[in-house]
Chains A and B, each alone.
Chain A
Amino acid sequence: MRRFLDAVGDAPRGVRIAGLVALALLAYALPLLNPPIITTPESDFRAVLFTVASYALVALGLNIVLGYAGLLDLGYVGFYAVGAYTVAVFGSLHGNLPFPLLMVLAVCITTASGLLLGAPTLRVRGDYLAIVTLGFGEIIRLVALNSEWLNGARGITGIPRPPSVELFEIPRLTWEGWVAYVDLGDKSVFMKFALLDATPYYWLTLTVIIFVLFADVLLQRSRVGRAWEATREDEEAAELNGVPTFRFKLLAFAMGAFVGGMSGALFASRQGSINPEPFVIQISILFLAAVVIGGQGNRWGAIVGAIVVAYLPERFREASEFRVLIFGLALLVLSNFRPQGLLPPRRRRRVNRETDRKQQMEGGVVHG
């Protein structure tokens, strides 16, 4: 595993890009291929794929806050909820704006809420931030639950979908054992956003993820990314070297909120109706688990973590009663036996490799 990761990390740029393109194509094709073993027998595979994709998007956002800037956010679901509710409120309950405008609005309002929450609270020390953000997430949910203006527990229905352009139909595969058939009776219409078929939503989310990944790469390699890293490693030292840490932490918070809000908006549109119920703290913990299991600070790790957290429970639905138990055990085992995460950032891997080498050398002197 480790050797494989190092080989990927050291591969020439061209090979890496080709690999990524192939991976992206495969991801786009997944709902059509419906491959055996990977597919979820107990629940709609396309819907599961959408869930996984929206978790991956959230994990990418949280990775900026947690992995890059090192801010422990336990209320990230709050931003997700703000995004979802913005779309619902201005698209259905108190207005009927079209979806693209709603998306923009959702992103603006969530980013603003991130700034609003961050401006006063980011001055408190790291560990306190955890409980403050947790409180924020709960406040958002309780306001949604108790406010008549937001329809309380009844929730909001009739949330607009993205405009459909029905260009052509794509058949999907069905499998009998290991033999694939083209199923002409079960087609996905290219970009027809409807309740039954989640495939277009999945494609849309995947596209958003790819854009976010590009922005993420650029951001991390820029001055901003280095400032975040410096802040995370040692805030005082960063400040002394002229990094305005507070401003960069606020920026990380806003960027994280931005991405989380986008995911929430897509979620609301896909569901068609929302209520406060799915925005509980436990979901925040799930997001957090995705980033940490994946390897905080590595965007690919965040995606892998999101897949683990969102896909595995659906895949093994037959054990549904024991899902949470198994998930808890998985968290325990993963964190104890792979504390650096499934895919730690490349630099961390190099550090680990060096430490190991040094220990081996020191060990050699002692025994030799």
Chain B
Amino acid sequence: MSLATFLDLTLSGLVVGAIYALFALGYTLVYGVLRLINFAHSEVFMWGSFAAVWLMMAMGARSGMSIPAAIGFLLLALIAAMAVSGAIALVVEKVAYSRLRHKNAPPLVALISAIGASFVLAEIMGLRDKIAGWVGLDGVLAPYVARARDTTSFPNPLPNVTLFEVADFPVRSNQLIVLFAALIMMVALDQFVRRSRLGRGVRAVSQDPEAAALMGINRDRVIQLTFLLGGLMAGAAALLYLMHIGVTRFNVGFILGIKAFTAAVLGGIGNIRGALLGGLTLGLAENYGSLIFGTEWKDVVAFCLLIVVLLFRPTGLLGESLGKARA
């Protein structure tokens, strides 16, 4: 193995890991306040990715634009993805969770409800050509809805240039942009939860919902806020994913969501910094694992790592700091 291969695997592992981490925040935040796996979070991500693709198509983005224009386009796509993902996350909360929460239903039912929401959201996207046909818009929207079950590619206007070389390994601009953008978003969220008034509410509810309610914190608001924050982060993750991988699909969220959730658990679910550590660890482990055992064993390595880590550190690498120790 050459040094260049190793560096390549390391960098792409870190990039994928950062995307996992950003995606994992939605699972971690919601788990922190609700103690529930938000199964529909994968679809929140998927809708964000389509929002970005569609906006780019509508604005006519293509490669070979001037750099400032390309950056502007990407920023607009980021805003669109975050807005749509955030909105979908709020819808999921409203439709799949809030009613059950007020009924005090057993937690597993909420899981099934979220799975139902996830199927519905994925299938609406996967059947968008039919649905557009019902309202007679399939002609107008043809470029957006055609071949609904195939992959859609993301027209990235930003050229992927080689910035510098380390030991014959070219470091490309897109990878660095994705990595740093993800890290900045995570730091921003971490600071928001740690320092802001709203963030304090989130932490209070995750530590002790009853006491938080007695202190005048509106639990429903806080829950909506965590869904929104998770959705925003998933939208950002979706755009970065598109910049890195280049295509999306109606069922792209499923496997990625499982990976992101694995990352959240690996780092210690409910813990924002844990999600970062878990995501990066998972991304690196996958890449090194596929180097040692072959690409087809990548996922096996990831899940084995998870099982081994949980055996020795049952609450994940960093433990559950956002939440309390279990009653």
Report how far A281 CA is from B106 CA in the complex, Å.
23
Q: Are B306 and A132 in contact (CB under 8 A)?
A: yes
Q: Are B113 and A139 in contact (CB under 8 A)?
A: no
Report how far A289 CA is from B113 CA in the complex, Å.
9
Q: Are B300 and A143 in contact (CB under 8 A)?
A: yes
B117 at the interface (CB under 8 A from A): yes
Q: Are B307 and A120 in contact (CB under 8 A)?
A: yes
Q: Give chain A's interface secondary structure class.
A: helix
Contact stretch, chosen from A196-204, A216-224, A263-271, A321-329: A321-329
Q: Which residue of B lies closest to A153 (CB)?
A: B296
Interface size on A, residues (CB 8 A): 46
B105 at the interface (CB under 8 A from A): yes
Q: Are B310 and A142 in contact (CB under 8 A)?
A: no
Q: Are A331 and B115 in contact (CB under 8 A)?
A: yes
Report how far A322 CA is from B128 CA in the complex, Å.
11
Contacts between chains A and B (CB distance < 8 A), count:
134
Residues of A within 8 A of B111 (CB): 72, 288, 292
Contact with B along A273-305 (1 / 0, CB 8 A): 000000001100100110011001000000000
Q: Are A142 and B99 in contact (CB under 8 A)?
A: no
Q: Give chain B's interface secondary structure class.
A: helix
Q: Which of B300, B307, B311 interacts with A142 by CB under 8 Å?
A: B300
Q: Which of B96, B302, B304, B314 interacts with A128 by CB under 8 Å?
A: B314
Q: Which of A66, A139, A146, A329 interacts with B120 by CB under 8 Å?
A: A329
Residues of A within 8 A of B71 (CB): none
Given A128-B310, A332-B95, A336-B100, residue A325 in contact with residue B261 (CB < 8 A): no
Interface residues of A in 105-143 (CB under 8 A from B): 120-121, 123-125, 127-128, 130-132, 134-136, 138-139, 142-143
Interface size class of B (residues with CB under 8 A): 35 or more
B195 at the interface (CB under 8 A from A): no
Q: Are A142 and B113 in contact (CB under 8 A)?
A: no
B108 at the interface (CB under 8 A from A): yes
Given A134-B258, A322-B127, A332-B120, residue A121 in contact with residue B110 (CB < 8 A): no
Residues of B within 8 A of A66 (CB): 108
A208 at the interface (CB under 8 A from B): no
Contact with A along B77-121 (1 / 0, CB 8 A): 000000000000000000110011001011011111101111110
Given contacts A127-B35, A134-B258, 7 further A-B contacts (CB under 8 A): A66-B108, A121-B307, A135-B303, A138-B299, A331-B112, A339-B103, A339-B105
Q: Which residues of B contact A (CB under 8 A)?
A: 31, 35, 37, 95-96, 99-100, 103, 105-106, 108-113, 115-120, 122-124, 127, 130, 254, 258, 261-262, 265, 269, 294, 296-297, 299-300, 302-304, 306-307, 310-311, 314-315, 326
Q: Which 7 A/B pairs are nearest by Cβ-Cβ distance?
A: A328-B119, A331-B116, A135-B303, A339-B105, A332-B116, A325-B123, A335-B113
A–B Cβ pairs within 8 angstroms, 21 of them: A121-B307, A124-B311, A125-B314, A132-B306, A135-B304, A139-B303, A139-B304, A146-B300, A292-B109, A292-B111, A325-B124, A328-B117, A328-B118, A328-B119, A328-B122, A335-B110, A336-B99, A336-B100, A339-B100, A340-B105, A341-B109
Q: Which residues of A contact B (CB under 8 A)?
A: 66, 72, 120-121, 123-125, 127-128, 130-132, 134-136, 138-139, 142-143, 145-146, 281-282, 285, 288-289, 292-293, 296, 321-322, 324-325, 327-336, 339-341
